Every structure is written in structure tokens, then in C-alpha cells.
Structure 1
Amino acid sequence: MDEAYIRRWREDVAACLDLLLPGFDVRFGYPPGRHTIGGPAGEEELASLAGTRLPGDLLEWYGHVREVSLPDIGNGYFLHEPGLVARREVTAARGRFTADVVVFASDGGGTLFAVDALTGSPVYRLPAGEIVAGVYRSDDPRFDVVAENLTGFLDRLRDTVEVFATMGVAGSL
């Protein structure tokens, strides 16, 4: 992941939101929530991540985008700000897959998205499940790999936003 990719991703998603938001309330029958693609994380926020094992792509992302809030795309999609990621309420996943993880995103339906803490690959979908002492446990078939890496996840999210903006239907990640 590099700065040019992040800039293109921001521009693509912003263009989709520019298409979606005017007339949203007429189209869907309720006003839109606040959709944001934040600027870079601050120095203190990035410093708060120093003691955590965070994959390089996620650190690169936070150097350019602090958080993303897309509350009306399907159930909503949210890429968490560094402070929330640093708290590491879920540190491992067990069940269909076994990995040490970093949760970096969620949807409005209770699903979490996490990358392998050591390598940054793959990205896992963690549907609502049991979390005890930081360990997520589930044999749910929706507990699955959704992308090879963070870039693949971001590509899928961008595509989901584009489909929702043009057709009004959101797929799931």
C-alpha cells in the first residue's frame, strides 16, 4: 500500500458519496447519516500505537486516513480510529481459523474485521460471536477470510460503496 493508492481510494469513495448523498432522503425515505473519510491520524494517536503489534499497511493507512464512517452503506461500515484499535479488545481469533488479530473495522450489524497481527494478511470477517478475555471464538461459517490483505479489503469496500451509490443495493463484505 502506498500514498498514491490511498489517495485514489479516498477520491473514488468520495466521488461515490457525492453521487449518493444528494437526494438520499427522497430515494431512501430517511436522511443520511454523517459519512466521513478522515484526514491523517495525529502524532499522539500514531504514538499510541507504538506498543501494539500493528501491520505496516495499517500503520501506513493511519498516516493518511484516521477513520472512515459510512453509516448508510448497507448496515454501515466503519474503519476504526487508532485509539480504538490500540485498545485491542480482541487480540485472537479461534474456531474456523486460529490467528492473533488486530480488529480495525466493523459494520453496523455487529461484524468485526481483523487482520493477522503479525503479517497483516489475510483479513478476517468475525460475525457476532463469543469474546472472552480478548479471544473471539466462533465456528460460524461467516467467520471467514474476506480479502488477502488490507488493500484487497479496501478494494471490496470501495466496490460496495460504488454499487450502493449507483444501484441502492449493498452487498456484504
Structure 2
Amino acid sequence: MDGAYIRRWREDVTACLDRLLPGFEVRLGYPPGRHMVGGMAGEERFASLASTRPSGDLLEWYRQVREVSLPDIGSGYFVHDPGLVVRREVASVRGRFTADVVVFASDGGGTLFAVSAVTGSPVYRLPAGEIVAGVYRSDDPRFDVVAEDLTGFLDRLHDAVEVFAATGAAGDL
């Protein structure tokens, strides 16, 4: 993942939101939540990420984008602010998969999204499950790989925003 990809992603998603939000309430029958793609993380918050052992891709992401809030896309999607990432509750996953992870995103239904600390590693979907001493355990079939890597996850999130802006319906991640 490079800075050009992230800038393009941010611009494309922002353009989709700019098309979606005018007339949102008339079209969907309720007012929109606060949608935003934040700017880069401040130095202090960015530096605090080192304790989470994030992948190089996740660090590159936070150099460009502090957080993403998409409360009306599907059940809502949120790429967490680095301050929330640092206060992590889950440090590893066990069950269908075993990995040390960093939780960086969630949806409005309680599902977490985590990426392994190794660049190019898969992104895992973590539905509600047991968390003991930082270890997430689940045999739930929804505990799965949602994307081959962080770029794949961001591409799927981008697609969900585009489809919702065009149709009012969003797919699941």
C-alpha cells in the first residue's frame, strides 16, 4: 500500500459521500449520521501505535487517514482512530485462525475487523465471541478472512460506499 492509493481511496470515498448526502433524508426517510474520512493522525497518536505492533500497511494508512465514519453504510462501518486502536481489547485470535492481530475497524453490529501484524496479511472478521486476556476465541463460521490484505479490505469498503450511494443498499463486509 502506498500514499497514492490512500489519497485516491480517500478522494473517491469522499466524492461518493458528496453524492450520497444531499437528499439523503428524502430518499431514505431518515437523516444521515455523521459521515467522514478524517485527515492524517497527529504525531502523538501516530507514535502511540507502535505499542500495538501494526503492519507497515496499517501504519501507512494512519499516516494519511486518522479515521473513517460511515454510520449509514450497511449497519455502519468505522475505521478506528489510532487512540482507540491503542486501547485494544484483542491482541490475538484463536479458533478457525490463529494470529497476533491489531483490531482497527468495526461495524455497527458489533463485528470487529483485525489485521495481522505482518504486512500483506489477511483481514479477519471477528463477530461477537469470547475475549479473555486479550485472546479472541470463536468457532462462529462468520469468524473468517474478509480480505487478503488491508488494501483488499479498503477496496471492499470503498465498493460498499459506492453501491450504497448509487442504490441505497450496501453489501456486507
TM range (shorter): over 0.9
- Distance in 1, matches of 2:134 and 2:120, equals 19
Q: CA deviation at 1:3?
A: 1.0
- 1:100–1:118 CA contact under 8 A, matched in 2: no
Q: What code does the residue aligned with 1:18 have? A: D
Q: CA deviation at 1:101?
A: 0.7
Structure 1 unaligned segments of length 5 or more: list them.
none
- 2:94–2:135 CA contact under 8 A, matched in 1: yes
Q: What code does the residue aligned with 1:148 have? A: E
Q: CA deviation at 1:87?
A: 1.6
Aligned residue for 1:104? 104
Structure 2 unaligned segments of length 5 or more: list them.
none
Aligned residue for 1:132? 132
Compute the TM-score of the two structures, normalised by the length of structure 2.
0.97
- 2:52–2:102 CA contact under 8 A, matched in 1: no
| RMSD over aligned Cα atoms | 0.9
Q: What code does the residue aligned with 1:14 have? A: T
* Residue-by-residue CA offset, 1:32-56 (whole Å, 9 max, x unaligned): 0000100000011011122221100
- Distance in 2, matches of 1:170 and 1:41, equals 28
Aligned residue for 2:47? 47
Aligned residue for 1:31? 31
SS at structure 1 position matched to 2:13: helix
- Distance in 2, matches of 1:30 and 1:91, equals 37
Compute the TM-score of the two structures, normalised by the length of structure 1.
0.97
Q: What code does the residue aligned with 2:80 have? A: H
* Residue-by-residue CA offset, 1:57-81 (whole Å, 9 max, x unaligned): 0000000000000000011000001
- Distance in 2, matches of 1:96 and 1:51, equals 26
Q: CA deviation at 1:117?
A: 2.0
Q: What code does the residue aligned with 1:7 have? A: R
Structure 1 residue ranges, 4+ long, deviating more than 6 angstroms after superposition: none
Residues matched between the structures, number? 173
Q: What code does the residue aligned with 1:27 have? A: R
* 1:51-62 → structure 2 map (5 Å cutoff): 51-62=51-62
Aligned residue for 2:79? 79
SS at structure 1 position matched to 2:121: coil
After the TM superposition, which of the residue ranges 132-141 and 64-73 deviates more from structure 2?
132-141
- Distance in 1, matches of 2:166 and 2:63, equals 30
